[in-house]
Amino acid sequence: MLKDFSVQSLFMGVLAAFAGFASSFAVVLHGLQAVGATEAQAASGLMALSLGLGICAIVLSFTTRLPVSMAWSTPGAALLASTGIVEGGFNAAVGAFIVCALLIVIAGLFKPLGRAVAAIPAPLANAMLAGVLIGLCFAPVKAVAFNPLLGLPIVLTWMVVGAFKRLWAVPAALAAFGLVVVFGVDVPDGAGAAVGRALLPTVAFVAPVFNLPAFISIALPLFIVTMASQNIPGIAVMKVNGYEPKPGPLFAISGVFSLLAAPFGGHAVNLAAITAAMCAGPDAHPDPARRYWAVLVCGICYLILGPLAGAVTTAVALAPPVLIQAVAGLALVGAFSSSAMAAFQASESREAAAITFLVTASGVSFAGISGAFWGLLAGGLMLTLQHLVKKAKA
C-alpha cells in the first residue's frame, strides 16, 4: 500500500475533504434543525455523518483498492429542510433515518429493489430533487433582502470566486460568512468561550420513534433522493473514470454506516458524486491503480473534522439563521441547475416532470405527508396516463 502513496493523492484527498465539508455542512445543519433537531442534536448528527463516511471510505477503499468516495446526502438534507417537523418531532425523523438506512441495505442486497429504484424515470427523480432544492436556493436572495450589508458580501464573493474557480466558490462564501459574523454581527459576550467549550465532541443519542407520517414524508423520499442523486451517480462517476465496482455491496455497506449514524442524528451516508470525480480522476494520480489513496486521505480528514462539528455549529448559531441558509442555498445552486435541466430535457416527459416539480416545490403537505412524495406520485400518474393514451392511439 505505501508504495502507492503519492503527494498528489495527499493533496487531492485533503482538498476533497475540505471542499465536501465546507460546501455542504450548512445544508446538513439546516436540514436537521428543520425537522426538529436541537443545536446539540444537529452537531451530533454532523459529527456522526463525518465519522461514518470517513470510516466507510477508508474501509471500502482499503479493501477494494478503488477510489470509493463517500459523502453525506446533501440533497437528502435539503429534502429535510423542505419537509419540516413531522408528527413525533426529531425522534420520528431519526426513526425515518433508520428505515431509510435499512432500505438502502436491502437495495444493495436485494437486486429487484435496486432495479426498481433505478427504474424510477430520471426526469421525475430530477424534477423532485429540483423542487426540493429550489426553496433553499431562494435563501441568498432573502438574505440580501434581510440585510444587504450582511447578505451581499456572501453572494458577491460566491459569484466572483465562482467565475474563476467553481470549486472554491462555496468555501469562499463560507469565509465571507465568517467575516460578516466577526465584523457585522453583534456577537454576545462570552461567545468565544462558548465556541471553545464546544470543541469537545457533542454526542447526543436520540431514541427513535416509528410512525407512518415520518415513513412516508421522510424515509421514502430520502431513500429515493439518496439512491437517485448520490449512490447511482457515484457509481457512474467511477465507471466514467475506468473503474468497474460492484454496486450492490457498496450500497449495502453505505446503508450499514447510515444505520450506525442514524441514532446520533445522521440522516444518510452514501457514495459521493462531486468529490468522487476529484478522487477518481487523473488529478488524483496519473495511475488509476494508485488513486484510492486520495480517498483514504479524504476519509482521515473527515475523522479529524467530525469532532469539530460542535464548535462549527455553535459558531454558526451566532449569526442570523438566514445568513447560513444563504451559504447553504449557494452550495445547492449547481445541483438545482443540473437537476432542473435533466428534468425538462426530454419533451415527452416534460409535463409530468413539471407536475412533479410544482407539487414538490409548493411545500404543501397532504394528510401529514410532504410534497416530495406527492410530487413524485402526481408526476408518475401523469406519465402513466400519457403512455396509456399514446398506446390507445397506436
Beta bridge mates, 270: 71
Q: Over 80: is that where the pLDDT of 317 sits? A: no
Residue 351 lies in a domain: no
Provide the pLDDT for residue 253: 96
Handedness of CA 131, 78, 297, 22 (dihedral sign): positive
Residue 298 lies in a domain: yes
> Which set of grid coordinates corresponds to residue 233?
451517480
| Burial class of residue 111 in the structure, from the number of CB atoms within 10 Å of its CB (0-12 exposed, 13-18 middle, 19+ buried) | exposed
pLDDT range class, residue 273, cuts 50, 70, 90:
confident
Helix (H) or strand (E) run with residue 87 in it: none
> Which set of grid coordinates corresponds to residue 36?
426538529
Residue 174 lies in a domain: yes
Smallest CA-to-CA distance from 218 within 131, 122, 46, 90 is with 90
Residue by residue, DSSP assigns 93-131 as HHHHHHHHHHHHHHHHH-HHHHHHHHHS-HHHHHHHHHH
Smallest CA-to-CA distance from 217 within 125, 83, 124 is with 83
The length of the chain, given as a count of residues:
394
Provide the pLDDT for residue 122: 81
Smallest CA-to-CA distance from 28 within 305, 294, 341, 248 is with 305
pTM for the model stands at 0.76
Residue 353 lies in a domain: no
Average pLDDT over residues 127-146: 87
What's the domain range around 214?
2-333
Provide the pLDDT for residue 149: 92
Q: Over 70: is that where the pLDDT of 367 sits? A: no
Provide the pLDDT for residue 28: 92
Q: How much helix, strand and coil, in percent to the nearest 5, is found in the chain? A: 80, 0, 20
pLDDT range class, residue 48, cuts 50, 70, 90:
very high
Report how many domains make up the chain. Answer: 1
Provide the pLDDT for residue 170: 79
Handedness of CA 314, 298, 236, 56 (dihedral sign): negative
pLDDT range class, residue 50, cuts 50, 70, 90:
very high
Provide the pLDDT for residue 191: 66
Which one is predicted more confidently, 54 or 177? 54
Q: Over 90: is that where the pLDDT of 65 sits? A: yes
Residue 202 lies in a domain: yes
Which one is predicted more confidently, 297 or 21? 297
**Could you give the CA distance from residue 280 to residue 291 in angstroms, rounded to a whole number?**
6
Which one is predicted more confidently, 391 or 351? 351
Range with the lowest mean pLDDT among 13-27, 191-205, 264-278, 311-325?
Answer: 191-205
C-alpha dist (Å) from residue 44 to 32, 121, 318: 10, 35, 18
Half-sphere exposure at residue 332, Cβ-oriented, CA atoms within 13 angstroms: 36
Residue 393 lies in a domain: no
